Amino acid sequence: MKTILFKIRVITTFYRSYFFASFLLTSAFSYLFWEYGYPIFATLFLGKLVTLFIIYHFIRTNKSREFYYYQNLGVSKKILWTTTLVFDILLYLFTIVQVNKLR
């Protein structure tokens, strides 16, 4: 149990490195969904995936030395990226659902 909580803390530390950019993009896409509705959903989802790929590439190339820190703590790159990207997509979809309920 202790190691799971530790790994969650390590993963959230990693997620903070790009949370602000992701939050701004999610907010912008949510606003566009508010304005245009379902006809634009596929485009927005594709935009979210493309921007996540750009963020992934930026962090992977410019902060590559930081991955040694996470590996020394026992969390691999694969686990870091998988959990944070899945969490970010789920957070985006949750936000879109909430915006749709408010419309």
pTM (two decimals) = 0.89
Name the domain count of the chain: 1
Is a pLDDT exceeding 90 seen at residue 80? yes
Q: What is the pLDDT of residues 46-64, one digit of tens each?
A: 999 999 999 999 999 998 8
Give the mean pLDDT of the chain.
93
**Residue ranges making up the domain that contains 12:** 2-102
| Dist. CA 87–CA 16, nearest whole Å | 12
Is residue 18 within 8 A of residue 59, CB to CB? The reply is: yes
Instruction: Identify the pLDDT of residue 82.
Output: 95
Is a pLDDT exceeding 80 seen at residue 1? no
What residues contact 21, with CB distance under 8 A and at least 6 apart? 55
Percent of the chain at pLDDT above 90? 90
